[in-house]
Amino acid sequence: MNKKVIFIKLKNTPNCKKIIDAFKKSFDEYDENKKNTFDHYYYPFSENASYLNELNDGEQYYFIASLYDNNNGKIKFTTQFLGVGMPKKSENQLRITTKYAVEDNTMTQSLRKLSALNLNKDFADKEYVAIEESKYLFEQIDFILGEVYKPEQNNWEYEKIDSESNLHPLAQRNEYCRRQYNLREPQKNRGEFQRDYERIVHSKAFRRMVDKAQVFSASRGDYYRTRMTHSQVVAQIARGIASELNLNIFLTEAIALGHDIGHTPFGHQGERTLNDILNDKIKIIKNCDMFKNYDKSDDNSDRDSDDILKDDYRLGGFKHNYQSVRVASQLEEQYFEIEGMDLSYQTLEGMLKHTKLKKDQFKLDEFISADNGIDELHFENDFCSTLEGQIVAIADEIAQRGHDLDDALSSGIMSYEEFKNYMTIKKVKDLYDMIDSVDNHKKEFSEKRRKFSDEKDLVNSRLVSTVIKYLINDVISTSKENINHYTVDKFENNGHAVDESLIKFSNEALMISQFLETIITNKVINSPEIALFDNNGETIVSGLFKAYYNDPRLLHKGTQRRIYSDIRRFTQNVVSFELGNHEVVKKEIYNITKADLSDKNKYSLDFIKEYMMKRKILVRNICDFISGMTDTYAINEYRKIEKQL
């Protein structure tokens, strides 16, 4: 299509009624599933008009026809028609197909201002048509009028692979793989879960975990765990358990390495802060109370019968396991064809269920775009439908017990003797005896004059290793027994999914794991050092969110484009923060962020609906941007913005 744009001015007078009706009827009969209806309606060109020399017969051009009133020289735009026109100069006609008709809004205002047209000055004498040629103007009209891109789904069948022939009957296999898009053709010697593993390792989200805090920030020292090193440890533990149980190693490692890619900077405090903002505990979002779930069973509800507060407008909350699914299925860009990495549903489910779902607070459809995602991820169950996913969930718990303890000992928040004293209660005697053997082992080699370069560090290392070993061995022995009692027929009849939690601690080990968590919470999480770290994290995350919310133009250009794209999926009244007219962009930002959408006297119901959705889209994209930051990037962005305020 030629990049010229035809502007037509339509004065709202009886003389123009026939022409105006042509645009309206063309729109009423427009069907995007059928061919353009150029032959039905037309706009009459003036004979021998100068602008005709700028158009080519038979080519298609975008047009904007502006209906306006002129009261004593004061112009007021009313209806705007956008569509595709094809000149037929021999008959002095522009054959038209009107694709969009709307009352004047921010989108049409921005397009007019970008063209810099003046209705009184920029049209030839007694002419009502002007031709403009602008790449940015054309691209925005094309985006508004064009069909929203929808990726295609392939129907590959995944075959058995030799390397999986000896796996346990309850293991996931290549031929069981299910994906949203099935983007790439299967390869003979490369399994689908291996593909998942490789896609995660090569993702930007995975690389960013190298500078995201676990408990201590990386600035505390390069010894302390980050999300990256934590994920690697989880993968190592999970691989060991899966190997002993003869389950799918690639799937297990893919889940383990991907389970935290949706985590925020500053550990769980960043996660809590974003969730508090979305739930209005930290006051930033205008009319935040309007975005909460409407409980129809509430007899005391005083909402109007035309209340618009349905789940579509729910802001939801923030939790890193849900965000990991969102990153993998929507935000990470690795392919031209689709958003996300097209990971298998088995991998996505394991990432989602590595921690508690809290289904009363979070809705899965806010984080995954697939229509069948809720069914495919077995959202009705809190546990994973694959044993590999269940392994990662418990490996994550073991890893946390181990390296949080290691960080606590290494930082000096808790001493080895303190920890040993905690373990003297009768219920943990078996683990205490194993810990006590660490001392005996150290003494044995000290008496042999073995010199340690750092005795404290070595003792801590052996202590943590002992705790991890105890928990791993318990999981393996307990889970083997559970698996042996589960029938293969039940697994196969259930679509190669288990309907029970089979990868477990024994009751004794579960109690010990929970006891260790209590100790670490008391000594580490509640320590002054961590409290200061959390406070700083909350200040930075909430400060960034407030700055981005008040002026979305501060966001990264990529995030601005995603907001533009997300809004277009919902409405054609979309204005680019990046390329739109600055006056109109400022007005649009005000409507999205500051307009009091509870004022039904000031705003129409359609306006309120539209800008509630736009506000929701903006808020979710701000969460995406902040949660994707590393600690260092977030700190630097905060300092940069703070200087400008």
pLDDT band, very low/low/confident/very high, at 295 (cuts 50, 70, 90)? very low
Q: Which of 65-79, 437-451, 473-487, 491-505 has the lowest mean pLDDT?
A: 437-451
Rounded percentage of the chain residues whose pLDDT exceeds 90:
59
Does residue 243 contact residue 519 with C-beta atoms inside 8 Å?
no
What pLDDT, on a 0 to 100 scale, did the predictor assign at position 294? 41
Q: Residue 303: pLDDT above 60?
A: no
Please give the DSSP secondary-structure letter assigned to residue 114: H
pTM here? 0.90
Q: Residue 299: its pLDDT value, please? A: 39
Of the candidate ranges 129-133, 549-553, 575-579, 615-619, the one whose mean pLDDT is the lowest: 129-133
Classify residue 498 as exposed, middle or buried by CB count within 10 Å of its CB (0-12, 13-18, 19+): buried
336 has a pLDDT exceeding 70: yes
Higher pLDDT: 436 or 28? It is 28
Q: How sure is the predictor about 89, in pLDDT bands with cuts at 50, 70 and 90?
A: confident
Residues 504-533, mean pLDDT to the nearest whole number: 82
Q: Which residue's entry shows tokens 């995201």?
A: 212
Report the side by side order of strands in the sheet with 42-44.
Answer: 42-44, 93-103, 74-88, 61-71, 4-11, 129-133
pLDDT digits (tens, 9 = 90+) for 39-70: 678 999 888 788 888 899 989 999 999 998 88
Higher pLDDT, 409 or 230: 230
Domain coordinates of the chain in residue numbers? Answer: 4-145, 162-267+319-376, 280-313+529-644, 394-516
Nearest of 89, 87, 98, 81 to residue 30 by alpha carbon: 98
pLDDT at 217 over 50: no
Residue 28 has pLDDT above 80, yes or no: yes
Domain 162-267+319-376, second-level architecture? Orthogonal Bundle (1.10)
Q: How confident is the model at residue 177 (pLDDT cuts 50, 70, 90)?
A: very high
- Contact between 349 and 385 (Cβ < 8 Å): yes
Angle in degrees, 0-180, between the axes of helices 387-411 and 249-258, rounded to the nearest 10: 50
